[in-house]
Amino acid sequence: MELTKALKAVIRTIPDFPKPGIAFKDVTTVFQDPALARRCVDQILAEFPVSSFDVVGGIEARGLILGTLIAHDSERPFFPFRKPGKLPWKTLRESYRLEYGENALEMHVDAVGEGQRVLIVDDLLATGGTAAAATRLVRRAGAEMTGIAFLVELGYLDGRAPLLAEGLTAQQIRSLIIFGEGE
């Protein structure tokens, strides 16, 4: 079965979570199927070859899972992007808007070095605020963006626009599956 069909078959939609009107895409089911998770990692590494990045950053929460798998397979270092107050050492912080509120993202000040090439990984691209904040953090630390990989994209929310506004190209933004409105 092709990867898109396999993902559509297992990703759950949870209505009105975390608040009314939000149709939450639950990707935890992907990680319950080791063969499917392996296919996702392989596809992301096909789109972003190991030679194109030095470090993998995973966005809280499910992006930490996927990012760790990609870092392990590529034998590259991993660092987390976390919500405020979750990291134990000195951090850089960037605020952003998301589809149901506002938040901030942090990373350790020494997570990446000057000129390192970073691949960011997250489970879902919705409005693009979280990923754009992660991109700004990487650049503030002096590193370069290789790209951003997502399991799922909600195409109807135009989450690519903030990433393109941050200077990323369409080729640097990859999603394994794109859902249309009502899917």
How many angstroms separate the CA atoms of 153 and 142, rounded? 28
Domain 3-179 has CATH 1.10.15.40: no
Helix residue ranges per DSSP H, the chain: 3-10, 28-31, 34-47, 62-74, 129-140, 160-165
- Residue 117 appears among annotated catalytic residues: no
Confidence of residue 101 (pLDDT cuts 50, 70, 90): low
Confidence of residue 169 (pLDDT cuts 50, 70, 90): very high
Given the residues 99, 139, 144, 183, select the one marked as catalytic: 99
End-to-end CA distance of the chain: 19
Q: What is the pLDDT of residue 22?
A: 85
How many angstroms separate the CA atoms of 135 and 144, rounded? 9
Given the residues 39, 60, 62, 160, select the one marked as catalytic: 62
- Residue 144: beta bridge partners? 117
Tokens describing residue 13 = 């939609």
3-state secondary structure of 125: strand
How many angstroms separate the CA atoms of 171 and 47, rounded? 9
- Residue 140 appears among annotated catalytic residues: no
**Tens digit of pLDDT for each residue in 102-124?**
889 999 999 999 999 999 999 99
Confidence of residue 99 (pLDDT cuts 50, 70, 90): low
Instruction: Assess contact for 11 and 26: CB atoms under 8 A.
Output: yes
Phi first, then psi: give them for residue 77, nearest 5 degrees: -65, 155
